[in-house]
Amino acid sequence: MNLVSINPANGHKLKKYKANTLQQVGQKIKQTHKAWLSWKNTTHAERSRLLLNMAGVLQTRKKEFAILMAQEMGKPVNQGVAEIEKCASVCEYCAANAAKFLEDQIIETDASKSFVSFQPIGVVLAIMPWNFPFWQVFRFLAPALAVGNCGVLKHASNVPGCALAIEELVRQAGFPENVFQTLLVNSSMVEKIIEDPLIRAVTITGSANAGKQVAQKAGSLIKKTVLELGGSDAYLIMEDADLEKAAEACVNSRIINSGQSCIAAKRFIVVKSVEKEFTKLFLAKMKAKKMGDPLDTDTAIGPQARVDLRNQLHEQVKLSVRKGAKCILGGTIPKGKNAYYPATILTKVKPGMPAYDEELFGPAAAIITAINEDDAIRIANDSVFALGSAIFTRDKAKGERIAATQLQAGSCFVNALVKSDPRLPFGGIKQSGYGRELGLFGIHEFVNIKTVFVQ
């Protein structure tokens, strides 16, 4: 069986890759486990040195990798460069902080000494999506290697070139052979991989349905999981918001990665008194974003990653309109053999419409009217998803209070777009998943938090 990468900008086949057999997968996992038996005994200094080497490789090859992403999944090349730079930053962060985060923690008891030790657990399986083909992997990989774990990657089937490039750059950075390997397989083999006794934990970024299947399988085998799933991030525009700045942040969040981001802004909940002015600003700024060749540096919106995904988004837009939403921008499929979809805005969005109830994974925005601030908070929380949210208000104290205590989400930002940061824990609640990546909490997800008691 083959995996095929297709350029979504023109439909051209880029390359075929021969998929691994189950036997080959088992052999790779054994190799990675064997590598772990040595890697877990390395010093923090050695791991940090290699992580910094990897950051250097990423910086040196960032343009090359950005072009690869543009070709395989359509990411505008400037955004691809930024993605690789972010991967380098998480390597640097883990190199600088992992040793401190993993220090023994002394706890006073009736023992002569008792403490908590953080120990690596083994080989972690990462099941990763195509939308951020490098960053999604490095969000798991840098912390995993920093704590002394090893990893195998089942990447999305449409970005095998990116998957193999990551394996190669880990090797180029000087890491021991097989501490990280790519498994070229499709999703049908995932359950069998999880069953392998040498796989100790699983992390997945993907749809809620994929997360449920992985969690169910891993749970049946008592293997820990971290799930980073879908999101339909609510951005609340309050009556006292700086509408110009709010509209700018909202548009930039909605069209990042051509709208294909779990933490992109998707539902814009606007207090009625400022809805008309906000919509006017939002429309003008969305119109100004250029859709085009992802290899052009002035392109803001490239193609969607696959034609079927673009078509699915279009059906959600059309059904929302049939149910009463008003399309004031976009909403049409361009001619030609490609996966493009234009910046789209829906207003008059209400419950029962896909634009309200579902995740729109592409450059389509839903504007929802709120009677007042309390109503805006109610609407924001009226979702099965709870990954990120943002609130725009000139009253920072009020914004902080609402973000901290009233919005249901794993991340809440005030007067800024939601983004992941190597220094901050990242993840969701409700159908957006559980567990955390990044920061102190991410480094502690896949370790044995071991109690040591000395009488």
Known catalytic residues are 228, 262
CA distance linking residue 55 with residue 59, whole number of Å: 6
Half-sphere exposure of 316 (CA within 13 A, CB side): 24
Whole-number Å distance between alpha carbons of 41 and 223 = 23
With tokens 């057999």, the residue in question is 21
For 172, the token pair is 């180029």
DSSP-derived 3-state class of residue 190: helix
Token pair, residue 107, equals 């706890």
Query: What are residue 17's DSSP bridge partners?
Result: 3
Q: Considering all CA atoms of the chain, what is the largest pairwise distance in Å, rounded to the nearest integer?
A: 75
CA separation for the pair 291, 242 (Å, rounded): 27
Give the separation between CA 28 and CA 117, rounded to whole angstroms.
29
CA quadruple 427, 429, 430, 434: dihedral sign: positive
When computed from its CA atoms, the radius of gyration of the chain, rounded to whole angstroms, is 22
CA 176 to CA 149: how far, in whole Å?
Answer: 12
Tell me which residue of 264, 285, 271 sits closest to 398, measured CA to CA: 271
